[in-house]
Amino acid sequence: MPIDVVRLGSLAYEPLEPGARCDSCGGTGTVAVTVVHTSPEEVRRYCEACWPTARERWEVAQEERTLDWMKRSMRAGPFVQPDKPPARSSGSRSWHDVGLFIERYLLRSDGSPGVPLTDVAQQANEIRRNAPKMNGPMPERIAAFVNKYSGTAS
């Protein structure tokens, strides 16, 4: 499941916390948060420098948990199903995630749109609208993407 970088409004935890401690390096100021919805919830926060690696680990762990649950379900048969792993969610205000989102879902490796142009334009507009909430100024390559596509749907 991709990390939602666009619809951050529904997040219960604000990822961008200038005073919060990074759970990876101990530094101050975080841009991302991950939550395992157990009781109590397991909340981890990460700074800009640690987030790309932490994000990758988070995604791999998510895949492994899902696969493990599927295997146990198959072995268990139809009557006694194993409990589903706890829900997990995450959010970030890191431009790193916006870059990944563009690369993974909006553009092909040759740089051409991988989805209908109206969808690319809609996402470009949303990235522009959300820019003030992000950590730091918009990186040049993302600005180039936004400038190229944000007007193409109107």
Binding region for Zn ion (CB under 5 A): 22, 24-25, 27, 47, 50
Q: How far is the CB of 138 from Zn ion (least distance, A)?
A: 22
What residues contact 129, with CB distance under 8 A and at least 6 apart? none
Please tell me the total number of residues recorded for the chain in this structure.
Answer: 154
**Closest to 100 in 3D by CA, of 139, 153, 69, 47:** 139
Q: How far is the CB of 27 from Zn ion (least distance, A)?
A: 5
- Whole-number Cα distances in Å, 61 to 36, 42, 65, 139: 12, 14, 6, 29
Choose between 94 and 150: whose C-beta lies nearer to Zn ion. 94
Residue 125 has which token pair?
């507009």
Q: How far is the CB of 29 from Zn ion (least distance, A)?
A: 9
Q: How far is the CB of 111 from Zn ion (least distance, A)?
A: 32
Q: Distance between CA atoms of 15 and 118, rounded to whole angstroms?
A: 29
